[in-house]
Chain A
C-alpha cells in the first residue's frame, strides 16, 4: 500500500489486544481480592463478542438494532436445549450450535429487516426479539419457562471440570473466553478493514453515493447483519455457561438495551470501544444493581452520553491532548 492512514490510539488491533491481555493478567489478582468482582470481569469478557458484533452493525454499518437480545437468546437457548435434550455440556459444541442457530435465524430474517434502516430497522429488531422472548416464555413445557434450564459445569473438549474448586473453574472459564475473544477480535479487525468493511462504512456515510460507485448496499448490510448475529450468539452461549442457567431474561428487551448501552459507553467510533464498553458497563451495572432503580441510572447515563459525550469513553482518546501525542501510524 502506498497511502499511510493515521489512526488515533485505540483504533488499531494492537492496543485492543494489549488491553485484553492486560485485563487477563489482572484477573487472578482481582479474583483474589474480590471473587465477586472477578465474576463481573468474567461477564465483561463474555460480552465483548456481542458488542463487537453489535458495533459492526451500528458503528460501521449505521444500523441501530434494538433487538440484539434475539441472538443472545438464541445462543443461550441453543446451549440450553443441547444440554436438556441431548445431554451435551461440551462448550465447543455449545458455541458451534449457537453459531449455527444465530446464523440460521439471521439468514432467515436478515433479508427482510436489512431492507429497512433507521427507526424501522431498530423497532423491527425489537419486535422480532420480543416475539422470540414470548416464545421462550410461553412454551414453558419446552423451555422451562421462567424457571429456565439449569446447566451443569461445561466440559472442554470432553474433559470434565466437575471436581475442581470454584476459583479454578472460574479461571478456566475466563481464560477460555479470553482466548476466544482474542480470536474473534482479530477476525473482526480483519473484517472491518477488508474491502467489505470499507464498503460497509461507505454505505453508512452515504447510501446513494455507495450505490453510484457500484456497492451492493443490501448485500453489505445483510453480511454485516449475519456476522453481527453470530458474534452475539456466541456471547449468549458463553454467558449462560457462566451463570449456568438459561432463562428468558437474556432474550428480553432489557438485554438489547444493555448491548446498545455498553457499546455507547465505550464509544462506537473506535475499534477498541466495545472492549472498554463491555468492562466499564459491567462494572457500572454491578454497582447500579445494588440500587434497585438501576434503569433510572442507565437511562440518565444514555441521555447524558448522547447529549454531551456522543463518542463515549474513547472520545477522550481522540481529543487533541491525547490525540496529538498518541496518534499512531498504522497500515503502510
Chain B
C-alpha cells in the first residue's frame, strides 16, 4: 500500500522527469514543425549543453562567484544555451541539405551527426561520468516524512514550467511566434506574404538549440553526464513525441507527463520492463490515435 508521503515523493519525481523530457521533446517538435526534419541529433545537442556545463561552465562560475546560490542556479543553463545555439547554427547547412529530401537522407545525416557528437564528447570530456553537482548540493534537501528529497529538482520543475509558459507566450502571442507557426504550415505562402524564409529557418534552429542547451545545462547538476545518454534520451523523447503528437507544442507537454508517469510506475513495480511498457503504450497510441494525444493540433 502506498502511503501519502510516498505518493507525494513519487509525484514530485514524475514532475521532475516530465520537466526534463519536455525540454528535450519540445525542441525536437519545433524543428520538425517548421523544417519537417526529425533531428536524431537533437538529444545530442541537449547533452552538449550538459557536457559544457559539467566540463567547463560550472567550475568557471564557481571560481567567479564562489558558493552564492543564485548565479550557480541561473548562469550555467544560460551559458550552455548560448553555446548550443552557436553549435546548432553551425549545423544549419546539414539541416538545410536534408530538408525537403527523402526521409532516409535526413535520418542518415542526423544519425551521422549523432555518432559524431558521441565521439566529440569522448574526445573532449573523456568517457568517465562527469558531474556538476555544486548547485544540487547547495540547494540542499527537504524531508517529506521519512523521505529525503533534493530541493534542486524543484528548481528544475519550476524552471521548465517557466520555459513552457514563456515559449507558449512567444509562439502564440507574439508576431514572430505567429510567423514561425505560419511558416510551419506553408513556408511558400508565408514567404510570398513577405516572410524571410531563411530567417525563419535559422530562427527555428536557434530556438531548438537554445531550448536543448538550456535543458541540458539545467538537468546536469542532478545527475552525471555519460556517453550513451543522448541515445537513451532520443528513445524516450521519441515516445513522448509519438504519444503527444509529432510537431505539437502541447503534445510535448502531455507526452512528457505521461511518459514520466509510466516510467515511475514501472520502476516501482517491474523495473526490468520499464522501456518495454513505454513502447507498448506508444504502440497503442500509434494504432488507436496516430495523430497523438495532443488532439492532433499543429502546435
**How many Å lie between the Cα of A168 and that of B84 in the bound state?**
54
**How many Å lie between the Cα of A265 and that of B287 in the bound state?**
35
Contact size range, A = 35 or more
Q: Which of A243-286 contact B (CB under 8 A)?
A: 253, 257, 260, 264
Is the Cβ of B103 less than 8 Å from the Cβ of A306?
Answer: no
Segment with Cβ contacts to A, from B15-23, B52-60, B257-265, B272-280: B272-280
Is the Cβ of A123 less than 8 Å from the Cβ of B238?
Answer: yes
Closest to B237 in A: A123
**In the complex, per-residue mask of B205-236: 1 if CB is within 8 Å of any chain A CB, else 0:** 00000000000000000000000000100110
B100 at the interface (CB under 8 A from A): no
Is the Cβ of A134 less than 8 Å from the Cβ of B107?
Answer: no
CB distance from B36 to the nearest CB of A (A): 10
Number of A-B pairs, beta carbon distance below 8 Å: 104
Is the Cβ of B108 less than 8 Å from the Cβ of A260?
Answer: yes
A116 at the interface (CB under 8 A from B): yes
Instruction: Given A127-B282, A302-B111, decide whether A295 and B119 contact each other with a Cβ distance below 8 A.
Output: yes
**How many Å lie between the Cα of A135 and that of B119 in the bound state?**
26
**How many Å lie between the Cα of A301 and that of B271 in the bound state?**
38
**How many Å lie between the Cα of A296 and that of B276 in the bound state?**
30
Is the Cβ of B115 less than 8 Å from the Cβ of A66?
Answer: no
**In the complex, per-residue mask of A127-162: 1 if CB is within 8 Å of any chain B CB, else 0:** 110110011001100000000000000000000000
A residues less than 8 Å from B123 (CB atoms): 293, 296
Is the Cβ of A264 less than 8 Å from the Cβ of B108?
Answer: yes
**How many Å lie between the Cα of A123 and that of B236 in the bound state?**
11
B116 at the interface (CB under 8 A from A): yes
Is the Cβ of A130 less than 8 Å from the Cβ of B112?
Answer: no
Is the Cβ of A298 less than 8 Å from the Cβ of B115?
Answer: yes
Is the Cβ of A127 less than 8 Å from the Cβ of B113?
Answer: no
B residues less than 8 Å from A135 (CB atoms): 272, 276
B170 at the interface (CB under 8 A from A): no
A58 at the interface (CB under 8 A from B): yes
B residues less than 8 Å from A299 (CB atoms): 111-119
**How many Å lie between the Cα of A300 and that of B109 in the bound state?**
9
A303 at the interface (CB under 8 A from B): yes
**How many Å lie between the Cα of A56 and that of B271 in the bound state?**
36
B138 at the interface (CB under 8 A from A): no
**How many Å lie between the Cα of A119 and that of B113 in the bound state?**
16
**How many Å lie between the Cα of A33 and that of B279 in the bound state?**
49
Is the Cβ of B276 less than 8 Å from the Cβ of A303?
Answer: no
A residues less than 8 Å from B105 (CB atoms): 306, 310
Closest to A58 in B: B104
B256 at the interface (CB under 8 A from A): no
> Which of these, A122, A300, A307, contacts B97 with CB under 8 Å?
A307
A222 at the interface (CB under 8 A from B): no
B122 at the interface (CB under 8 A from A): yes
B residues less than 8 Å from A118 (CB atoms): 103-104
Is the Cβ of B286 less than 8 Å from the Cβ of A300?
Answer: no
B residues less than 8 Å from A134 (CB atoms): 272, 274-276
A120 at the interface (CB under 8 A from B): yes
Q: Which of B80-124 contact A (CB under 8 A)?
A: 94, 97, 103-105, 107-109, 111-120, 122-123
A112 at the interface (CB under 8 A from B): yes
**How many Å lie between the Cα of A295 and that of B104 in the bound state?**
20
**How many Å lie between the Cα of A119 and that of B231 in the bound state?**
16
Residue contacts A-B, CB under 8 angstroms, 16 given: A64-B104, A126-B234, A127-B239, A131-B275, A134-B272, A138-B271, A257-B111, A295-B118, A295-B119, A296-B115, A296-B123, A298-B112, A299-B119, A303-B109, A306-B105, A307-B97
| Interface residues in chain B, defined as those with a beta carbon under 8 Å from any beta carbon in chain A | 38, 94, 97, 103-105, 107-109, 111-120, 122-123, 231, 234-235, 238-239, 242, 271-272, 274-276, 279, 282-283, 286-287
Beyond A130-B235, A134-B276, A298-B112, 4 extra complex contacts between A and B, CB < 8 Å: A119-B107, A122-B107, A135-B276, A306-B105
